[in-house]
Amino acid sequence: MRVLQIEKFIDSSGAIAGGVGRYVRTLTELLKSQGHSVLNFGCAGRAGPAGMPKYFDFTATRNPLALLKLIHNRQAAACLDKFLQANPVDVAHVHNIYHHLTPSIFPVLARHGVGVVMTVHDYRLACPTKFFLRRSGVCTRCLGNKFWHAASPRCAGAGGVALAVESWCNLLLGRYGRFVDTFLCPTEYMCDVLRRTGLAREQISLLPNPVEFPRESPQEVSAGGYVLFAGRVSPEKSPEMMIEIARRLPQARIIIAGDGPVWPQLREQLDKSPLDNVTLPGHVGSAEMALLYAGASAVVITSRWMENSPAVMLEALAQARPVVAPSHPPLREWITDGVTGRLFPPGDAEQLARVVGELLDDATQARRLGQAGRELVLARHDSDKILQAIERFYERATQRCALR
């Protein structure tokens, strides 16, 4: 089968970063291992590749005509049409296209007889700002297609108006429901969110994300390791809470591995008030990341938003590292407090530091939790079963597309 992976960015260098990028990379390797041909389509950066639509930064303009691109990107549709003429495919696996490529690509896929499957990585179909998050914390007011809440000053304000209009246009025109055969959700929580948008229940399926497991059995957690934050250093992930752990637990070593918009602020904060127990290595490659997991006594998720299926959590569990996570509904589908990891009240730095301190003081507990978490992920994220399920969804999508 010829499969087209469609994500908002196409990475011509092969150095895919971020949770969605890692998902695409892992799935691509699985598909190729079974003899499938995999192609990629997405927005190109300045360096190309040629023939791809250019990335449009809607946050840099307030021109109403330019903002129409949020709803319909004619360039993306034209580029995809030309691409498919030269590269016919059987099925398209769509990811975060939203206000970059936009659903303008769906009629093009239909004209070329391409079935469509979509993995839902965030809450964009139910929340214009995609995070279910406002300044005060978690917010699900937009559930039930009440998108006007995004325009509140407590949420996205003026920028939220454009996002809300985009959401309503897509809803009224049924642009996702009409063209996507199956929405693949990594959590039961996400399945419920999509049902509340009005999508047909038979279009929504639960399917765990594939995980890259270490080739060798991971080493046991040892006493005296460090506490690790890994991933994008951005506001919704609250990496500053790691600084709070460092202040409350001066004996703990803290590593904040990753890059993003908040990284300079963290660096400035540490320059003004130095903490000898905090390290900021910046962006870390996959090989070095595996070594960081192996040496960690605990991996901490600090996110303010309700992450759907964070790659960092899954990778840490696969490495038998104990995970400390906020008690958000999606994360509780993996982390049971004291059984497969530890939970803390979201945003509560004091309780987070207490839980981390307990793990650092009790290596036996850390090993037990890490091993239980690994067994859970091994069972739930079996690559063979996931690939077989995806192949069935692909086949169904191509058959139904042929009957239209």
Predicted pLDDT of residue 286 = 84
- Whether 15 shows a pLDDT value over 70: the answer reads no
Predicted pLDDT of residue 9 = 87
358 and 390: one domain? no
206 and 342: one domain? no
Peptide bond into 49 cis (omega under 30): yes
- Whether 221 shows a pLDDT value over 60: the answer reads yes
239 and 121: one domain? no
Predicted pLDDT of residue 11 = 67
CATH for 194? 3.40.50.2000
In a domain? residue 154:
no
In a domain? residue 220:
no
Distance CA 362, CA 223 (A): 8
Query: How many CB atoms are closer than 10 A to CB 35?
Result: 7
pLDDT per position as a tens digit, 152-178: 999 999 888 889 999 999 999 999 999
In a domain? residue 276:
yes
In a domain? residue 82:
yes
256 pLDDT band, cuts 50/70/90, is: very high
pLDDT per position as a tens digit, 265-313: 999 999 998 999 999 999 998 889 999 999 999 999 999 999 999 999 9
In a domain? residue 372:
yes
Nearest residue to 259 via CA among 229, 287, 288: 229
259 and 278: one domain? yes
322 and 246: one domain? yes
291 and 393: one domain? no
Instruction: State the total domains in the chain.
Output: 2
- Tokens in use for 21? 């990028």
78 and 205: one domain? yes
389 and 297: one domain? no
Distance CA 230, CA 239 (A): 9
- The DSSP code sequence of 161-192 is HHHHHHHHHHHHHTTTTTT-SEEEESSHHHHH
13 pLDDT band, cuts 50/70/90, is: very low
Give me the long-range contacts of 341-345 (CB less than 8 A, separation at least 24): 341/317, 341/369, 341/373, 342/369
Average pLDDT, whole number, for the chain? Answer: 93
14 pLDDT band, cuts 50/70/90, is: very low
- Whether 359 shows a pLDDT value over 60: the answer reads yes
370 and 389: one domain? no
Q: Which has more confidence, 62 or 323? A: 323
Cα–Cα distances (Å) from 344 to 214, 239, 244, 332, in that order, read 28, 15, 14, 11
Nearest residue to 369 via CA among 309, 291, 284, 298: 298
Query: How many CB atoms are closer than 10 A to CB 14?
Result: 6
Q: Which has more confidence, 140 or 15? A: 140
120 and 198: one domain? yes
Distance CA 336, CA 368 (A): 13
Predicted pLDDT of residue 102 = 95
366 and 335: one domain? yes
Contact 365, 341 (CB under 8 A): no
214 pLDDT band, cuts 50/70/90, is: confident
Distance CA 376, CA 180 (A): 31
- Whether 346 shows a pLDDT value over 50: the answer reads yes
Q: How many CA atoms lie within 13 A of 122 on its CB side?
A: 16
Q: Quick one: DSSP state of residue 337?
A: B
Q: Which has more confidence, 223 or 91? A: 91
Q: Which has more confidence, 10 or 342? A: 342
In a domain? residue 274:
yes
94 and 193: one domain? yes
In a domain? residue 80:
yes
Domain of 303 in residue numbering reads as 226-380
In a domain? residue 166:
no
